[in-house]
Amino acid sequence: MIFSTKRSKVLLGVGALAVAALAVGTTRYAIGSDHAGTVVTAQTRPGTDLSDLHIFPGSDPNNVVLSMSVHPLIPAGTAPSAVSFDQDVLYQFKIDNTGDNVEDLVIQARFQGTGANQKVFIAGPTKPSRIGTVTQFQTPYAITGTLNQEFSPKAGMKVFAGLRSDPFFIDLDQLFTILPDRKDPLLPSPATPPGEANTPKATSFRAPGDAKDFLANFNVLGLVVEVPKSALAIRAGRGKIRVWETTSIAQ
């Protein structure tokens, strides 16, 4: 089945070519999150709505963890079985280990069924048979997992797909108070509504203790993969990779 990219999220999130660099031994911190990217994405296809990508050292110094957050804004208290990944979506980590911003390896996930028994299929890290925005699900491992349960599709690789607390934090309402004229840059430019003052009501974020994390009580679906660095062709001491994540729907 051929998939076309519905959403993609690059770490740092400042442009199509921005990438996350992971130098072994020195992780550069990346900041960028985007919840409910568009109305259509958020309301009709939240399973394609990527919110975060994190890369960090694994439980073993030879390992690296890639973590995708998707389907944001799930209220805390929602049963873990009530929300699951979109069956028609191909979830991917794309990894460039040669510095040309083209994916050399992909780690892919697809899901079957809904609810607590949803099955998790993992492929990769492997060389993709197609690169770019139109991609293909590679042959998955025979060992499949279940939603919300850690499993090992192959030796040395650990995967978790399921409900987790949203790792991002922001005092979002205060941001909108500081920038009341903020508009979605992707929507047509609105006229300023008549009679409504377009003046900031605050100049800074609230102090620690007063600030409220908008996302404190929300969950996401997390797809977390731990693999040996060697599986991503990161060489000890000088390896560097660029990682981005995509969600694609079948064409």
Min CB(106)–other proteins separation in Å: 16
Whole-angstrom distance, CA of residue 152 vs CA of residue 39: 36
Please list, in sequence order, all residues whose beta carbon lies within 8 angstroms of the beta carbon of residue 75, skipping any fewer than 6 positions away. Answer: 217, 218, 219
Q: Among residues 25 and 213, whose Cβ is nearest to other proteins? A: 213
75 binds other proteins (CB under 8 A): yes
Q: With contact defined as beta carbons under 8 Å apart, do 109 and 126 qualify?
A: no
Please list, in sequence order, all residues whose beta carbon lies within 8 angstroms of the beta carbon of residue 128, skipping any fewer than 6 positions away. Answer: 94, 103, 105, 106, 135, 136, 138
129 binds other proteins (CB under 8 A): no
Q: What is the DSSP letter of 177?
A: H
186 binds other proteins (CB under 8 A): yes
149 binds other proteins (CB under 8 A): no
Min CB(21)–other proteins separation in Å: 20
Number of residues that bind other proteins (CB under 8 A): 74
The correct pick among 56, 139, 150, 169 for binding other proteins (CB under 8 A) is 139
165 binds other proteins (CB under 8 A): no
Min CB(66)–other proteins separation in Å: 18
| Token pair in block for residue 52 | 């975060």
The correct pick among 27, 62, 101, 152 for binding other proteins (CB under 8 A) is 152
The correct pick among 58, 140, 167, 239 for binding other proteins (CB under 8 A) is 140
Is the peptide bond between 125 and the residue preceding it cis, with omega within 30 degrees of 0? yes
For the segment 28-47, give every residue that binds other proteins (CB under 8 A). Answer: 37-41, 44-47
Query: Strand 89-96 vs strand 240-250: parallel, antiparallel, or unpaired?
Result: antiparallel
